[in-house]
Structure 1
């Protein structure tokens, strides 16, 4: 009998690619099934290439990159809209179908990421028995997304004009400031695209939902980052705040300056992964001069020994696993799980989309609606790093609680481990 075969399809962007890569490795290692991952990449991001290389080196999955597809996006299109358009174009260009035809074994089940629901209709074409959607966020976010088609029918006018919080079944009410950016202007064509995507996901919700997380990257080779880890080795235990706003998160020149001054003003050690403004899917420049040009004059010289600014690729999981890291200033992407499963508390700086909801209570937060001044940056960094701060103590305790509970869930016999097998039996991947 042929070994069961799971086909996973990843949307472009590091925040979508990495969760699918790690899910594939998890299914392969836990269920002992064959896994093929089709990665729809932006075609221009060395960070995506590095993520694929690292995942392949650590895991047992077969990974294939699908040809990049050029899309004429509207100038004001949001990141989610651009990704959705690329995934729909992938279906039109038959890239997935062609890739499956070239495989030696037929997939048993197909798993697509949340922005790839437009591909569900090709399941019959490629002969899979079942199709699932992987949502690498939390249940509250999923509940809100699934309920948005209902809100679209019952809410009159713009969401931003609503005075009372909106009721979501099974969840606490939400205000308009907690919705996705694509929902805030109903006259924008991107709003319709958002509704179509959420409607497709709502139809999938008739099937059982399996909680299989948290799924995070494991530590791996770090030859390209020896200087970073060597610097961390020289710092005291839990004394460094790690600053990284993701592969696609960008700051204005003014905000970059304020962040730099704020880190200096905090008096805390820091490791800052700094990138210049990037393309919409995270392609960045490795030109140190261009990146550091946005920093205050003399900043790099003034931080020697106390702070380290790096402009190249950095091994985030290895950094968060290091004993000298005491906090994380994050944009709240997929890195939230990587941080909290290591027990590292977060200064949450959500830049767009659902990221402001991801941290639960294991963070202190800043707003994403204005320029954050240096004093506020310094205050929040101190809260998470200074041992005597009362709020910081609660956050650190909660982060440790999350770390312990995540270990229990992932361990053999834990809730996540059991859920993997329940799903696999439903799909007839295991007996």
Structure 2
């Protein structure tokens, strides 16, 4: 009997490519299926995209094919957002995608698209792939808002940000103005219309795989499945198969970051990194620096060039980045902190015993990398669904503290930065002790979810039987 074949489709951008690569690796290693990944890259592949693809190929678990990108400038507004360009690009890829699938030597048993690629699902029917699923690399609350958005679009008038009461999502947490996804802030924008379309198309699949686990979000998952208004919108099975995150890679020695971390006490360092796109204003960078210094806690800061410094398009340079810091900062904090201006291996850093907290932009991949290591979070959401993630982490899961206002709306002052960092890392802070204990509890539950017979392990096998990847 031929080995079952899973076809995964990744949208452009590292934030969409890596989750699909990791899902492919998990399907191959756990279910022993053949995995092909069609990766729609960002035009000319960025070095990080290329590196991620090469690493996946080197592991030998997945076959990865890059699909040449198409020009969609004539299909989007001149000021179209990145989100809009990606989803329109995925729809425009239909002819290329169809030919790529038809040319495969072995026919796929199942097709999985990430949620930005739902426009490609009709191609599955064209090429005879009867099982088609959507992968949501985010959490269950995000999924609930996404599929319920078409309902809200019909019943709510005006802009969502102007509504004083939180928007009700049946059976799960309501969405307040500071929790909204960036894509729904302007209902006249093309990205909002695309977001509504995706919400309509997800339930047209045969089911959804979501990167969370039962013990973390059981109530929201129940609302998506059990008989009720939300499940009647959803209509299809939801499989919680998380956490799916990158594994630790080898560390090249000597490495200055880890040589420094090795000298620090257990759980004494706050790791500061706002993601590959997490650049701050010059004013905010200065306040963050002063806050780290005032906190008296040890820190490892992966610092990007401020967006107001020498223009956003110029390349990162150590001297340019360092020049954005307060005068004398590096000298005063020598030994107490380490500033890194180049790429840093985040998973390996979060795995180090000296890391006691993570000041993060709250991208879901970063959140999972932190929670699976038992590291609590200082939530610093910047864009996309990160505002929602910050609320989830602080108010529902209880593994984080967050800024008093959204950083997108106001510069966060140094005193507040210092207070947040101390709360997470300082041993004597009572609230911090509770948050650290909860983070450890979540770490344990994340491991149990993927243990033999655990909730996510069982959910993946249930899905595999449903789509006939295994008998």
TM-score with structure 1 setting the length: 0.93
Map 1:246-395; keep pairs closer than 5 Å. 246-276=275-305, 285-333=315-363, 334-358=365-389, 359=393, 360-366=397-403, 367-368=406-407, 369-395=409-435
Which aligned segments of 4 or more residues in structure 1 are displaced greater than 6 angstroms? none
- Partner residue of 1:149? 150
Count of aligned positions: 426
Q: Deviation per CA, 1:162-198, whole angstroms, max 9, x where unpaired?
A: 2222221111222233221222222223322221222
RMSD: 2.1
Report the more deviating stretch, 346-355 or 226-235. 226-235
Q: Paired residue for 1:22?
A: 22
Instruction: Identify the residue that residue 97 of structure 1 maps to in structure 2.
Output: 98
The equivalent residue for 1:57 is 58
Q: 1:383 to 1:55 in 2, by over 3 A?
A: farther
Q: Distance in 2 between matches of 1:283 and 1:417?
A: 44
The reply to whether residue 87 of structure 1 matches residue 108 of structure 2 is: no
Unaligned runs of 5+ residues in structure 1 are: none
Partner of residue 165, structure 1: 166
Which secondary structure state, in structure 2, belongs to the residue aligned with residue 24 of structure 1? helix
Give the CA deviation at 1:224: 8.4
Structure 2: runs of 5+ lacking an equivalent = 206-233
Distance (Å, rounded) in 1 between the aligned partners of 2:256 and 2:30: 34
Tell me: CA distance 1:336–1:284, structure 2 relative to 1, closer, same or farther (3 Å): farther
Deviation at 1:206, TM superposition (A): 2.8
| Shift of residue 75, structure 1, vs aligned partner | 5.5
d(CA) in 2 for partners of 1:308 and 1:429? 48
Aligned-partner Cα distance in 2 for 1:96–1:340: 36
- How much has 1:247 moved relative to structure 2? 1.1
Between the aligned partners of 1:223 and 1:283, the Cα distance in structure 2 is 30
Q: Which of these residues, 427, 430, 443, is aligned with residue 403 of structure 1?
A: 443
Counterpart contact for 2:299–2:337, Cα < 8 Å: yes
Task: Quickly say closer, same or farther: Cα 1:330–1:130, change in 2 above 3 A.
Answer: same
Separation of aligned partners in 1, 2:417 and 2:51: 31
How far apart, CA to CA, are the structure 1 residues paired with 2:260 and 2:12?
Answer: 33
The more displaced of 71-80 and 101-110 is 71-80
Q: State TM-score, norm by structure 2.
A: 0.85
* TM superposition shift of 1:44: 4.8
C-alpha distance in structure 1 between counterparts of 2:4 and 2:306, whole Å? 43
Supply the distance in 1 between the matched residues of 2:377 and 2:360 (Cα, whole angstroms). 7
Other-structure match for 1:40: 40
1:244 is the counterpart of 2:273: yes
Give secondary structure in 2 for the equivalent of 1:35: strand
